[in-house]
Amino acid sequence: MSPSYDVIVIGLGGMGSAAAHHLSARGARVLGLEKFGPVHDRGSSHGGSRVTRQSYFEDPAYVPLLLRAYELYEELERATGRDIAILSGGVMVGPPESRTVSGALRSATEWDLPHEMLDAKEIRRRFPTLHPYDDEVALFEAKAGLVRPENMVAAHLQLATRQGADLHFEEPVLRWEPYRDGVRVHTAENTYTAGQLVICPGAWAPQLLTDLGVPFTVERQVMYWFQPKGGTEPFRPENHPVYIWEDAAGVQVYGFPAIDGPDLGAKVAFFRKGRVTTPETIDRTVHEDEIRAMADHMSRCIPDLPGTFLKAATCMYSNTPDEHFVLARHPAHPESVTVACGFSGHGFKFVPVVGEILADLALTGATAHPIGLFDPARPLPRLRSSGGTPTAAAPARGARP
């Protein structure tokens, strides 16, 4: 049996890499175990960009964590020299009563966050690439923008290694179990022991956390890159914001400015409603009907965006029934196991602060951060149906201006 550690971290994607950094920064002897290589594209921590925002439509309870995450973005950039966040500004667009708009306004108001409400005419004037219907509005947040997932994972791994963490890649975990006053973890290569275990399994949560009592659903999602019709200059960050756009039927899309040069275009995707899958059976081929559905939807709100399709990539959402996170001590193993999972497609922006929380929980058993919303023992609604691809757009309501 290999030497014992203070903490073993299972999964070194977004959350696990951050946990390894924060734990090792506090002097813990850390072993990190990852099924794939460093900064891989087989899970949910890839794709070049993720939206970050503080006027959080999902729930105002997330806002304090976001404020801390923004501080940690800056610390991570200073410590590693990597680009982590680009705060280009962002708009939450849709009918005034839509969850995207009304929820964002609720968080902005409750936490006194700087923001502006724009009517359709002002949206078009300020952001000419966007073509809302006359009855759509937007909440504009100057501090919204994007984070770089690959850079963030690489930065946390860099710091963890510098701080003495022992990181093992291409070493899948087979099982774990309580052992004496801690845990024992079996991999394809060895068996390890530690006083504490932190599990950040991503889409593998249904396999590694069968006793957690949370019915996870893993969904296949697709990200698309298009070359705009007139080129990328109007879609540069100084001209074109990040956005989440909800139509009258409740279908949400999100997208980004062109940040990777004229040849890589601009990225867009549907938000949620992907096909149910597993990490082993996910279809990583993006099909022509999916590309057409994305282009058709975007042509109604950003007509110049779907000029030429460039590429697409798949990732996975690991959903809880209420789409809130699971971030807590394991209720069946509260003395030795901490879990972070079920981030439901909106978790990556929280990566640095989740790492901080996981270090708190593993080393002290508690955290000062507000995480009550993420208790796995909370009442959960029934699983929502999620069988189809999000290809059906809302019926047209007249020509866009």
Residue 21 assigned as binding residue: yes
Residue 355 assigned as binding residue: no
Residue 327 assigned as binding residue: no
Residue 89 assigned as binding residue: no
Residue 115 assigned as binding residue: no
Residue 26 assigned as binding residue: yes
Residue 39 assigned as binding residue: no
Residue 81 assigned as binding residue: no
Residue 347 assigned as binding residue: no
- 368 CB neighbour count, 10 Å cutoff: 9
Residue 14 assigned as binding residue: yes
Residue 168 assigned as binding residue: no
Residue 255 assigned as binding residue: no
Residue 366 assigned as binding residue: no
Residue 24 assigned as binding residue: yes
- 43 closest CA partner among 282, 251, 324: 282
Residue 34 assigned as binding residue: yes
Residue 138 assigned as binding residue: no
Residue 8 assigned as binding residue: yes
Residue 377 assigned as binding residue: no
Residue 22 assigned as binding residue: yes
Residue 213 assigned as binding residue: no
Residue 13 assigned as binding residue: yes
User: Which residues belong to the annotated binding site?
Assistant: 6-36
User: Which residues belong to the annotated binding site for FAD?
Assistant: 6-36
